[in-house]
Chain A
């Protein structure tokens, strides 16, 4: 069974500083994908970044980077130069690579990030 764990229910960060949101996962699939989504108070799910299990380099997308440590089964999100608009819920998610997974996403419990001015 696949499982995603986010151990930080809430995080504070000062504006313009960097913050790391933790995510660990468990899967028996050899091929899988890891995602981070941002959910503001409006409820929409905003895709941030993706890391494939066979990708050798850590994914980066603008101010977002993913610290992928396969042996530790962790996929932490790093947000650099935090902005007030980054205040939101952040979800880590995993998609299995097996046929049975049918591309569905399993989500972690989320981390609420609050950026202080």
Chain B
């Protein structure tokens, strides 16, 4: 079964409003989570690294004041798209690394959230 969940799976909002997307690790603790954005027919672009108990690390070109990330617990990270515009319409995917036997970290991806800004 799924080990990382996202909510909502899809959302439609009006331009200028804010939208919050949740990412939860279901049966393991994740001190780090990653947020990706995927435009239609394109690849996943890493937006930021969410760190439990500290500030998120944003990739170059990603506006930290527009994409607010909060990692308040070991199982929950949230991404808030503030003052959304139609160009923010995209597929947002989170992932969390989970340690496997032998020190390998496997990335578990959430099912994604499709955001449409009208």
Q: Are A43's CB and B111's CB within 8 A?
A: yes
* Measured CA separation A48–B107 after assembly (Å): 12
- Closest A residue to B48 using CB positions: A104
Q: For the complex, would chain B's binding face be called helix, strand, loop or mixed by DSSP majority? A: strand
Digit string of A89-116 for contact with B (CB within 8 Å is 1, else 0)?
A: 0010001000000111111111000000
Point out the residues of chain A lying under 8 angstroms from B109, CB to CB. 37, 44-45
Digit string of B97-109 for contact with A (CB within 8 Å is 1, else 0)?
A: 1000000111101
Point out the residues of chain B lying under 8 angstroms from A33, CB to CB. 104
B67 at the A interface (CB under 8 A): no
Residue among B32, B44, B97, B111 with the highest chain A CB neighbour number at 10 A: B44
* Measured CA separation A63–B43 after assembly (Å): 24
Chain B contact patch, size range: 20 to 34
Q: Are B49's CB and A104's CB within 8 A?
A: yes
Q: Are A45's CB and B93's CB within 8 A?
A: yes
* Measured CA separation A35–B44 after assembly (Å): 14
* Measured CA separation A47–B112 after assembly (Å): 15
Residue among A33, A35, A45, A95 with the highest chain B CB neighbour number at 10 A: A45
Point out the residues of chain A lying under 8 angstroms from B97, CB to CB. 103
Q: Are A107's CB and B43's CB within 8 A?
A: yes
Q: If A103-B97, A105-B95 touch, does A91 touch B44 (CB 8 Å cutoff)? A: yes
* Measured CA separation A105–B112 after assembly (Å): 16
* Measured CA separation A42–B93 after assembly (Å): 12
Interface on B for A, CB 8 Å cutoff? 32, 34, 36, 38, 42-46, 49, 57, 91, 93, 95, 97, 104-107, 109, 111-112, 114
Q: Can you report 18 A-B residue pairs in the complex whose CB atoms are below 8 A from each other?
A: A37-B109, A43-B93, A43-B112, A43-B114, A44-B111, A44-B112, A45-B109, A47-B107, A91-B44, A95-B107, A102-B49, A102-B57, A104-B49, A105-B34, A106-B46, A107-B36, A109-B43, A110-B42
